[in-house]
Structure 1
Amino acid sequence: MKGKKFFAAAAGAAMAFTLAACSGEGAGSTDEEPTDGSTAGGGDAVAEGGLVGVAMPTQTSERWIADGDAVEAGLMDLGYEVDLQFANDDIPTQSQQIDQMITNGVEALIIAAIDGTALNSQLEAAAAAGIPVVSYDRLILDSENVDFYVTFDNYNVGVQQATSLLVGLGLLNQDGSEGDAEGPFNIEVFAGSPDDNNATFFWNGAMDTLEPYMADGTLTVPSEQTDFEQAAILRWQQETAQRRMEDLLTSTYVGTDLEIDGVLSPYDGLSRGIITALESNGYEGTVADGFPVVTGQDAEIASVKLISDGVQFSTIFKDTRKLADQAVTATDAFLAGGEPEANDTETYDNGVKVVPSYLLESDIIYQDNIQELLVDSGYWTAEEVESGTAE
């Protein structure tokens, strides 16, 4: 593998390229006082409790397990009962789970959809029963019966993913200034699941950031697979990403003088599949030694370990504890008779309406800010980072 001495400098800087914090006081703020004398979002209305349904997509990703547990804990702390269900990435299962929640009399729903277009009948039933629906991280599409959306600034997550790729290649420094490298560099690009609305935001943010470098020849995509449909990985499956990377290597690189310098990956599970494919095809060592720059998202502990070891270059840290808090706060505001406060009322059009949203910030994780952003914040422990497994 050809060495790139600027990798070491890129990995050595500690500053994260961080989005500006979203404005607003939080999803629980409200200008409308509830009629029962309680304070919306403040928890006074929850003394009587109530049942809230929480529908999460899968338990195959540690991220979604953590989200579900955090939402459940936050609701229970406010006095609610919780029906938490995981659907194992099966659309009919999630539909049935939500149907059953409605039948069981939930007073609100928090839904992270597997397929954002597949829940129309469930949302119609919820609306008919007066049940508010909070769309969690993945926007539910093609329905007027989505009351609120909590998520991260997903376009800027894509910008951050592409920015970290450029940092790894030496074209940018972590402070956003121009790097010393000139290229050209060979990259390949991956996208998320086409049935997840967020995947398009990630892709657009990333490709808009990379396009000027592709236009002037600094970056090339030898496979020429630069359309979302070509790059998309259904259900965000690691094995599918590994097979696609292997196919790209076989069809474009094996038997030629071409080598891959970097891979845009929108999720850590995909990143690990990509890395496995690269290692199986002769790429070895660390980024500092010339291993291709691979990006990621979600700060999954297995990938944080790889970043600590210098194999994966970066990931995007979306602190899902904050996301869970906003979902709980929004739900509590609805059930207290108020309206959650949005800090974005323009961006997230689900095809029928613009859904009021609360957006959170995210950070790029590099090798040298793992301690500051993940360990010091209590997201992972030093022992978990060292072992690559969650305790």
Structure 2
Amino acid sequence: MSIKIRSILIIGIVLLLSACENAATVQPKEKTKEQEDITPVPDEKIKIGFSMDTLEEERWLRDRDLFKAAVESLGAEVEIMAANGDDALQVLQAESLISQGIDLLVVVPHNAEASATIVKKAHLAGIKVLSYDRLIKNADIDLYISFDNIRIGELQAEAITKLVPKGRYVYIGGAATDYNAHLLKQGVFNVLQPFIEKGDITVVYDQWTKNWVPTNAYMNMQEALNANNNNIDAVIAANDATAGMAIQVITESVLAAVIPVAGQDAELAAAQRIVEGTQTMTVYKPIPTLAEEAARLAVKMAKGEYIDTNRKINNGKIEVPSVLLSPIAVDITNIDHTIIADGFHLEEDVYGSDR
């Protein structure tokens, strides 16, 4: 074969291979106008609904703000509504939250029994319910988080019986419609009962405070003094607001001595009264711990994640998976190392400018 013919064949083969390679190469297509308009859609935020009984007490304003901040720090959002003690309004507000497409409902019930309706409505919409601080009764709630309310009552009674191991006691409870009030009372009487059986302590007045309203507690304390001719030795009140009213009545009465009074919630006014010497003790429930843990659990539940808890509380219908946090007794001896050290209240607010 001549060199000329060989060269022609080589050139032909090269051209053929080049054509095949070009044919096998897929050229990118130009995007259509519709494709250019499509942008990736980010995952929608988890949305938590928070149905609250009231915002008329200092404590619940703190819960609201801390819970909201904790939820948002986890990348979720929260819609908050407060019924201010109106059962029917709380149900309507819960329905509104459900209709907004929330992923989970957190409820601070005003009425432990009536709030079962809220749970049913949420479950019909495929939404789980977390009962916050107060237990919803007779309902299939998915989780309950609170402080150990029986232990709170025990701490109150332990503190007062150390000071007054014998005497005439007044008990001013919370709202009869609030299951927590019953748990608190159970804790108080767990401690008092042995003293009562020995005859050392007599409970001369025992009454609920309708709707936790302080003015109702004020009337209860007036009634207690009138019924006993001012002859009482100690008062255990279901929270600091009711304790404050009891102390006001005592201050206005003709009693010569300061009567030991126990409360709970560690409100600023209670801390100030402890410093002044008019209130014996309160029970500190680190609200930041409660709010942050509730937010963490709420977001996990909203994502469908399993919550592992080994505590259960019977609410009259089921054994409710529960997370119970530990309360702390506070008096003049440890107020600096608890609520002030934690930043729950500022030292200057508790002690004033004189310290």
So what's the TM-score if we normalise by structure 2? 0.84
* Aligned partner of residue 193 in structure 2, secondary structure: helix
Query: In the alignment, is the contact (CA less than 8 A) between 2:286 and 2:327 conserved in 1?
Result: yes
In 1, the alpha carbon distance for the partners of 2:310 and 2:173 equals 27
Query: In the alignment, is the contact (CA less than 8 A) between 2:83 and 2:89 conserved in 1?
Result: yes
The alpha carbon displacement at 1:339 in A equals 1.5
Q: How many residue pairs end up in the alignment? A: 312
Distance 1:189 1:113, change over 3 A: same
5+ residue gaps, structure 1, are: 1-45, 172-183, 285-289
In 2, the alpha carbon distance for the partners of 1:344 and 1:375 equals 31
* Aligned partner of residue 356 in structure 1, secondary structure: strand
Instruction: Determine the structure 1 residue equivalent to 2:282.
Output: 315
> Which structure 2 residues correspond to residues 138-287 of structure 1 after superposition, within 5 A?
138-144=134-140, 146-169=141-164, 171=165, 184-221=166-203, 223=204, 225-226=205-206, 231-254=207-230, 259-283=231-255
In 2, the alpha carbon distance for the partners of 1:192 and 1:342 equals 28
In 2, the alpha carbon distance for the partners of 1:121 and 1:79 equals 30
The AA in structure 1 aligned to 2:304 is G
Instruction: Determine the structure 2 residue equivalent to 1:123.
Output: 119
Whether 2:71 is the aligned partner of 1:99: answer no
In 1, the alpha carbon distance for the partners of 2:117 and 2:170 equals 39
In 1, the alpha carbon distance for the partners of 2:53 and 2:115 equals 13
In 1, the alpha carbon distance for the partners of 2:278 and 2:63 equals 27
Query: In the alignment, is the contact (CA less than 8 A) between 2:48 and 2:299 conserved in 1?
Result: no
Higher strand share: 2
In 2, the alpha carbon distance for the partners of 1:168 and 1:50 equals 50
Q: 2:347 aligns with which of 371, 378, 382?
A: 382
The alpha carbon displacement at 1:47 in A equals 6.3
In 2, the alpha carbon distance for the partners of 1:196 and 1:215 equals 28
Highest Rg: 1 or 2?
Answer: 2
Whether 2:89 is the aligned partner of 1:89: answer no
Taking CA–CA contacts closer than 8 Å with sequence separation of 6 or more, which of the two structures ends up with the larger relative contact order?
Answer: 1
Query: In the alignment, is the contact (CA less than 8 A) between 2:59 and 2:267 conserved in 1?
Result: yes
Instruction: Determine the structure 1 residue equivalent to 2:128.
Output: 132
The alpha carbon displacement at 1:308 in A equals 1.0
Query: In the alignment, is the contact (CA less than 8 A) between 2:234 and 2:259 conserved in 1?
Result: yes
In 2, the alpha carbon distance for the partners of 1:291 and 1:187 equals 14
Moved more, 203-212 or 336-345: 336-345
In 1, the alpha carbon distance for the partners of 2:310 and 2:274 equals 33
In 1, the alpha carbon distance for the partners of 2:117 and 2:273 equals 42
5+ residue gaps, structure 2, are: 1-41
Distance 1:382 1:95, change over 3 A: same
1:110-129 superposed Cα distances (whole Å, 9 cap, x missing partner)? 10000011133332221122
Query: In the alignment, is the contact (CA less than 8 A) between 2:51 and 2:81 conserved in 1?
Result: yes
The alpha carbon displacement at 1:387 in A equals 4.2
In 1, the alpha carbon distance for the partners of 2:57 and 2:262 equals 18
Query: In the alignment, is the contact (CA less than 8 A) between 2:76 and 2:299 conserved in 1?
Result: no
The AA in structure 1 aligned to 2:172 is F
The AA in structure 1 aligned to 2:329 is I
Q: 2:305 aligns with which of 334, 338, 350?
A: 338
The AA in structure 1 aligned to 2:190 is D
Q: 1:329 aligns with which of 289, 293, 296?
A: 296
1:350-391 superposed Cα distances (whole Å, 9 cap, x missing partner)? 111111000100111101211100111111110121249xxx
In 1, the alpha carbon distance for the partners of 2:255 and 2:307 equals 50
Query: In the alignment, is the contact (CA less than 8 A) between 1:47 and 1:79 conserved in 2?
Result: no
* Aligned partner of residue 188 in structure 1, secondary structure: strand
* Aligned partner of residue 303 in structure 1, secondary structure: helix
Whether 2:47 is the aligned partner of 1:65: answer no
The AA in structure 1 aligned to 2:245 is G
The alpha carbon displacement at 1:335 in A equals 2.1
* Aligned partner of residue 364 in structure 1, secondary structure: strand
The alpha carbon displacement at 1:242 in A equals 0.9
Aligned-pair identity (%): 29
The AA in structure 2 aligned to 1:380 is H
Whether 2:338 is the aligned partner of 1:373: answer yes
The RMSD of aligned alpha carbons is 1.7
In 2, the alpha carbon distance for the partners of 1:205 and 1:110 equals 26
Higher helix share: 2
* Over 6 Å off, 4+ runs: none
Query: In the alignment, is the contact (CA less than 8 A) between 2:274 and 2:281 conserved in 1?
Result: yes
Distance 1:353 1:84, change over 3 A: same
So what's the TM-score if we normalise by structure 1? 0.77
* Aligned partner of residue 139 in structure 2, secondary structure: coil
In 2, the alpha carbon distance for the partners of 1:52 and 1:96 equals 17
The alpha carbon displacement at 1:85 in A equals 1.3
